[in-house]
Chains A and B, each alone.
Chain A
Amino acid sequence: MKLNTLLLGLFIVVILQSCTNKAEQTSSNQLSEQMKNQISSEIMEVSNQWINGNKNLNADKAIQFWSNSPDLRFAENGQFFANRDSIYATLNNYYSITNTLNVEWLNRKISPLSNSTALMSGEFHFSLNFKDGSSWQGTNAFTGVFIKENGEWSLIQGQETTRTNE
């Protein structure tokens, strides 16, 4: 009887320990290097797809990984869009007056915060040739907060700022 009780007590301790470990593993700063690398690689891929969607003037592809959550926020040069639909409409309007769009990442730094949250900061260069013959190019700084929803990374927060000479 005593042995059974002791064994079961030990069993509970082991379960508690494993639960604590699991909780820590999914918290920030407790991710293994391997996990961090994997998350970084996944975010790199998602942000590449976003760039490709832009290059192809395909609003559906460009907005594909943006979260459908009402928590989504996105700002361009300090102006926050009302919601995902307004971002999509703006992209479509832009693409309808654009002949070619080229976008290239200059740098990206990804900070995995947990196995389902990551922060990205980076800079990209863009150049647009409009249908009216005018053009526009520049460099934007980008902040993105990514969360994993239904097994896929999506953007829950983004902000872009066009570089100025200040």
Chain B
Amino acid sequence: MKTTSLFFAISLFVCFSCINNNNAPLSQQEKEKITSEVNAVMNSMKEGMKNLDSEAFEATFLLDNEFKYVRINGKVSDANAFLKEERNEFNNANKADFTFVSTDIRVIRPDFAIVTLIYHGTFYFQNSTVSFPDCGVTLGLVKTADGWKVIHLHESVQRSKFVVTKLN
């Protein structure tokens, strides 16, 4: 009889915990842990950009059919267009310099986070430079078995155009 009561109590506890966990907001500690994980992904992305390292940069994205990329010219495109543009810049540039400022991470769910940031940077090509003089960016990230990945990227340049400078 004692065993029966014990099992019954455990069952109720398990049941209550499950219901409670499904509705409970994330604790501050959980949010801080996720924020730290997402921040590490942002750092990998930035280093990938600075080092023109396509592999490292692309590893921070989940480039499947659902991926959406809103370009600074206001067009919605997909993973293929994103990769084409990224590889064209990374393969042809000699050097890049990027700074992320005002990085703001919000944990919406245990498996979904939003990042907003402003970045500015310059790609240095053989005969020209392309500068992004402050781009406002929204990134949506999901947690996968392989860590946090960007599934949505929207960037807008704060000035009317990015700046192209011809060298020599």
Could you list which residues of chain A lie within 8 angstroms of chain B, going by C-beta atoms? 1, 4-5, 8-9, 11-12, 15-16, 18-19, 22-23, 26-28, 71, 73, 75-80, 107, 109, 111, 113-114, 116-117, 119, 121-123, 139-141, 143, 145, 147, 156-157, 159-166
Chain B residues whose CB sits within 8 angstroms of the CB of A27 once the complex forms:
111
Contact A166 B73 (CB under 8 A): yes
Contact B74 A161 (CB under 8 A): yes
Contact B18 A15 (CB under 8 A): yes
Pick the most buried of A5, A78, A165: most chain B CB atoms within 10 A of its CB.
Answer: A78
| Residues 10 to 50 of chain B near chain A (Cβ within 8 Å) | 10-11, 14-15, 18-19, 21-22
Kindly identify which residue among B7, B73, B138, B140 contacts A163, using a CB–CB cutoff of 8 Å: B73
Contact A143 B15 (CB under 8 A): no
Chain B residues whose CB sits within 8 angstroms of the CB of A114 once the complex forms:
109, 111-112
Q: Is residue B84 contacting chain A, with contact meaning CB distance below 8 A? A: no
Contact A16 B14 (CB under 8 A): yes
Contact B14 A12 (CB under 8 A): yes
Kindly identify which residue among A26, A77, A122, A157 contacts B114, using a CB–CB cutoff of 8 Å: A157
Given A71-B106, A78-B118, A119-B140, 13 new contacts (CB under 8 A): A1-B3, A11-B7, A23-B22, A28-B112, A73-B114, A77-B156, A79-B158, A109-B68, A113-B142, A117-B108, A119-B68, A141-B71, A145-B140
Interface residues in B, total, Cβ within 8 A: 46
Question: Could you tell me the distance between the alpha carbons of A123 and B158 in the complex, rounded to whole angstroms?
Answer: 19
Nearest Cβ on chain A to B115's Cβ, whole angstroms: 10
Contact B142 A73 (CB under 8 A): no
Contact A79 B22 (CB under 8 A): no
- Nearest to A114 among chain B residues (CB) is B109
Q: Is residue B66 contacting chain A, with contact meaning CB distance below 8 A? A: yes
Interface string of B94-107 (1 = CB under 8 A from A): 00000000001010
Contact A79 B15 (CB under 8 A): no
Contact A156 B114 (CB under 8 A): yes
Q: Is residue B4 contacting chain A, with contact meaning CB distance below 8 A? A: yes
Contact B114 A9 (CB under 8 A): no
Nearest Cβ on chain B to A8's Cβ, whole angstroms: 4
